[in-house]
Structure formats: structure tokens, C-alpha cells
Amino acid sequence: MEKLFTVPLKLNEMYLRGNAARNDKRIMLEGGAFLSTDTYFGCFPCEPYKRNVNIKTVTACARISGKGTIRLMLQSQEGDKTVGRENYDTSAPEKISLSSPLKNGCFYIRVDAQERTEIRELWYESAEGKKETDIAIIICTYKREENVLRNLRLLSSTISEDELLKDHMQVFCVDNGGTLSEERNDCAVPKGVDLIRNRNYGGSGGYARGMLEAVSSDRKITHLWLMDDDICFDASILRRAMTFLTHRKNDDVRLAAGMFPFGQPSVQHEASAVFNGYTFRSCCSGLDFRDRKALLKNRAGKYDNAYGGWWSLIIPVSEQLEHPADLDDRSILPMPFFIKLDDVEYGLRLPGPYVVMNGFGVWHEAFGKKANAWSEYYTTRNTLIIQAMYPALPHSILKTMGIRFLKALAYGEPKCMEAALKGAEHYAAGPEAFRKADPEARHREILARYRAPLRQDMNRKKMLQSAFRNLPRAVSRKSLILFIRSVFLLVEARLRPGPDQEGWKIMNTPAFWRDYLGIDKERQSEANGKQEEAGTDLCDHTGI
């Protein structure tokens, strides 16, 4: 039997419910008290496993001492029922196991103490997985040393202490800011982390570099785990993800992590999303896991144009990456968008089953906390590029720009509209001009020109209500002129003959990215440097 995942022994609504106390990494129950794992990180979500993995039966286990009753419970749409039960009466810690075939709903463990009880461990196990699985965790960072080093240390310690993980999981940190080090200092990455220095070509550039380095390493990588540098996560998700994938039925399955804002740590903001050609709709949004009913609602729907956010997403390695000379447009590498919508475009290009499940989630800064006018440049430009790449999507120019116009009205900030129009202008210049531009220099220019923090409490309803009220303040003569000019440029771009669509599509290939990031030149320079060093050493040894 193999341990699928352990339930963290933490007493809050996301981990454990009940009237217990925690003492030195153990849970203590007095007589008459109870403990229950019908929580986000404590339950076993049966349906994702039934659909996607080769597990028929699951066993719930506890290492426990004292006297009382332990039950394996099933929460479903029909209510809660007991599917396994055993009394315990032991002075020394003892393993209690309760098994059941997978059913519809969620399994959870309930302990009712008759006398003082001590719980040392709670976990779920099953037969060992058979599918070869080697995961490369790729973190892209830019001058967030405190955040990324915290996460790298947690990853390194968790992987090194788990026999399954340490042989099948590797961490790659792509440093776009050049502030991390392999030396022993305050910015040193932990042992076992592959540090890759990269040009600052944004998140998409960092992820692309990490993907290329991971698949060219000595390991046979089967999955890539894209992870933001500033998330917080529970270490239990590492083994949970690994064992899920070793039991997978379908090699194309993707695991999309739920995202919980720091300010509302029990309320899920998103777990996968849908793009309609213009805007986005979050799935499983607003589920509050303080209410146990949310456990049965947290699942991926069957939607067209679905994608998973790259704050934490596990994707299978494409064969195209293993053969870099292949310029197939189904390459798994992202588009060079710098930031914004690279995850959307990936989901459109490589549609596949996204798995959302309880217990696979992270905490992240709420989207609204980062709202700034300059981001409209990237959202507009990249939306237009995606529409050009996928003409089957809705792609009305007036609707696309009208949405940006309404957003500027809602925020009452002229720079929103000006940034969006600059994005439209750069899209209309075509793929060749895009490739020739220096993305880092352009990013500095956009930040300097359109920086303006936006309100953080703006949902869709509030935006529509404020749009009319802000009309005089949000729209300037300059922005109206730019709007008209941009529409003409976009119409001209759409009518322009030539291979624009293919020009955009070729930008996600390995050949493009190696040239764009200067990887081949970088390696040639390193090789020349080694040759020069070897020549110097030869001179020294021969006395020349």
C-alpha cells in the first residue's frame, strides 16, 4: 500500500474540525470530544479519482491511542453516512485502517473519543501507482527574494524528506532579476535547486526557459509544475499531486490548483477559468470552505476554452519539447506575452481535461491588489493576438475595444484607455515588429508612462454602475483621438494580406524561444570561455 497523502494536523476550518487541542504536532481529544476531516485539506475527493486515476478502493488510516470510535464517513448529495467503523482501545499508538470502494462524494475520517485520545497521524492510502512520473517544478522570479526563497526552502526540505518525491521531483528556479545566488549568502537557493539565470522577458520568458532547461536535463520529465514565486502553499500538496499522477488513466490530465486570496484564506477565488474571446470567467469562484457543503461543489466543469492559472498548474510534457527541431504549433511552450494571458493561450492551443479537486490549492495575493492602469496594455495587446491566432473565437474589434473603453470609464482613469490603445497599436504593427522589440525595454516604458493604481473593490456590477458617472473624468480628447486611430489600425491589420496568423503561432516553438532568449549564443559564449580557460591552463603547465 502507498500513502496517497497525509492530512496536516492543523486545527482550523481548512484542515480539521472539532473540539480538540494541538500539542507538539499531535492532536489531543478529551473524553466526549470529536475530530473530523470533512475539510478542504482533510477530505478525500472521490470523483476526481474515479474519473482520472486507476484506484478502485481507498483506505483511511489513523495512528491513534486512547479509547473511542473511528469512522470512515461519506459526504454526498444524499447526506452523510458511515461506510466503515472500528473501536479503538490502546495505550500505545496503533494504526487503524478503514477501507471502502470509491463512491460519489467525499470520504472523511471522524474520531469520537470516549476517553483521552492522542492522534499522531491521519492519512489515505491505496495500491501503489504504476505510471512513470517525474515532475519538474518551475518557478520564475524577479526580485522577490524573500518570497521565492521561503518557497524554495519548503520545496527542498519536503522533497528531500520524502522517499517518493526525492527521486521523482526536481525544482528549477528561473531568476529573471539576477538577485539569487548559489553561493552561501542571504540570497542563496537551497541545495538541490537548479538556479537558471535568464533575461527579464517576463513570466512567459521565465517559464519558457525553465521548460526548455527541464526537458534537456538528465531526468526523463513527464510533467511540468508551473508555480508563482509569491504563493503560499501547504507541503502536503506535493505528495498529493505525485501520487495522483502515478495512478493516472490519461497522460493528458492537468491539475489546476485552486487560488485563495490572502485576505480571505478560506474563500476560493478561482479553480480553472474560461475565456470567451474577450473576457474571463472564473470557475468554482466564491466557494467558502468554512461551509462543508462547498466540498461537493468544487469540481471542474466541461467547458470550451478552459484553462488553468499558472500560479500553480501541472501540465504533461509534450513530445514536441523532446524534439526541439520540430516546429509543430502544438508546442507546449508559452507565447512571449511577457505577462498576461499566456495561460489562456496555452489552454486554447492544447485543450485537455483540467482536474480541480479539494486539497490541491494555494494562497495568493488577490487579483485586485495588483490592479494598475499599465496592465491594460498587456491585456489588450495579448487578447488581440489570441483572436488573430484563433479566428474561430469571437473577435469583433469594436467589442474588444469597447470593453477596454468601459473598463477605463469604470475606473475613471484615462491612463487605462491610453495603455489599452498603445497595446492595440503594437498588436497592429504585426508579428515581425513584435519580435524585433526589446520586451524588457518596452516593459519599462509602459510602466513609466501608464502607472496608476486602480481601486481594489471593483467587481463587474460596480464597474458598470460607475462607468456613466466617470465619463467626463475618464475620457480625454487625447484618448478619444487614440481610440479612433486604434480602431482604424486594427481594421487595417485584420484586412492585411499575408501570414500574420502563422507569424504569431511560430512564437511558441522551441526554435523561436532559444533565439529570443539568446540561449544558443549564451551556450556558445560559455563554451568559448571554457576553451580560453583550457588554453590558459595549457600555457601555464607548459611554461609558455
117 and 9 both lie in a single domain: yes
The Cα–Cα gap between 450 and 438 comes to 18
User: Do 394 and 294 fall into the same domain?
Assistant: no
Cα(284)–Cα(269) distance, rounded to whole angstroms? 8
pLDDT at position 331 is: 78
Establish if 519 belongs to a structural domain: no
Domain identity same for 200 and 272: yes
Assess whether 153 and 280 both reside in one domain.
yes
Residue found under cell 568559448: 528
Among candidate residues 373, 206, 195, 386, the one with its CA nearest the CA of residue 280: 386
CA distances from 256 to 225, 307, 336, 359, 444 (A): 10, 8, 22, 11, 31
Residues 121 and 139 in one domain: no
In whole angstroms, give the CA distance from residue 315 to residue 223. 6
Q: Let me know if residue 80 belongs to a domain.
A: yes
Residue 220 lies in a domain: yes
Domain boundary residue among 335, 370, 405? 370
Q: Does 543 reside within a domain?
A: no
> How much is the pLDDT for 327?
40
Distance CA 310, CA 313 (A): 5
- Asked whether 180 and 144 are in contact (CB, 8 A), the reply is no
Which tens digit of pLDDT belongs to each residue from 459-475?
666 666 676 677 666 56
Provide the residue range defining the domain that includes 217: 135-370
- Answer yes or no: do 181 and 293 share one domain: yes
Contact between residue 385 and residue 504 where contact means Cβ atoms under 8 Å apart: yes
Low-confidence ranges of the chain (pLDDT < 70): 318-330, 456-465, 467-468, 471-476, 478-479, 497-499, 526-544
Residue with cell 480628447: 477
Identify the CATH number of the domain in which residue 122 sits.
2.60.120.260
Helix axes 414-428, 477-495, angle to 10 degrees: 20
Choose the final residue of a domain: 327, 354, 370: 370
Q: Is 518 helix (H, G, I), strand (E, B) or coil?
A: coil
The count of structural domains within the chain is 3
Q: Is residue 202 part of a domain?
A: yes
**Same domain, yes or no, for 306 and 214?**
yes
Q: Is residue 527 part of a domain?
A: no
Q: Of 68, 92, 126, which marks where a domain is finished?
A: 126
Looking at residue 179, its pLDDT comes to 95
H/E run at residue 372:
none
* One domain, residues 257 and 201: yes
pLDDT value, residue 476: 65
Q: 298 and 437 share a domain?
A: no
For residue 236, being part of any structural domain is answered with yes
The answer to whether residue 400 sits within a structural domain is: yes
CATH of the domain at 186: 3.90.550.60
